[in-house]
Structure 1
């Protein structure tokens, strides 16, 4: 995973946590839910990048 992708995904996840917290504190269920969705998207992107890296590493190992 590229460093830029990793930083962006972590920033997106942090922004989602902030939205969730603000929504929860202010009683805004919509904002709270949006924050949770943002966090889930960021985690999914991170997982996808990890899978992509694992496949690339496996292919490199096969090539020798």
Structure 2
């Protein structure tokens, strides 16, 4: 797991926690922040996947 994947997983976990807290307390703002954090985490993980694909492609060409 590289840096982007780790950051993405952390942000998704933070988002799930915020969303759950918002649902429990009825705080729509916190729930919305949680959804946004989850989305950011997914984007970071996707960016990590793209980086991995380029690294793999670069390594294949170098072989």
TM-score (norm 2): 0.85
* Secondary structure in 2 matching 1:34: helix
- Unpaired runs of at least 5, structure 1: none
Residue 30 of structure 2 is aligned to residue 31 of structure 1: yes
1 or 2 for the larger relative contact order (CA 8 Å, sep ≥6)? 2
Structure 1 residues 51, 5: CA separation in 2 closer, same or farther (over 3 Å shift)? closer
1:31-59 CA-to-partner distances (Å, cap 9, x unmatched) read 10100000110110011011111111111
* Pairs aligned (count): 63
- For 1:12, the equivalent position in structure 2 comes to 11
CA deviation after TM superposition for structure 1 residue 27, in Å: 1.1
Aligned-CA RMSD value: 1.4
- Unaligned stretches of 5+ in structure 2? none
TM-score of the pair, normalised by structure 1:
0.84
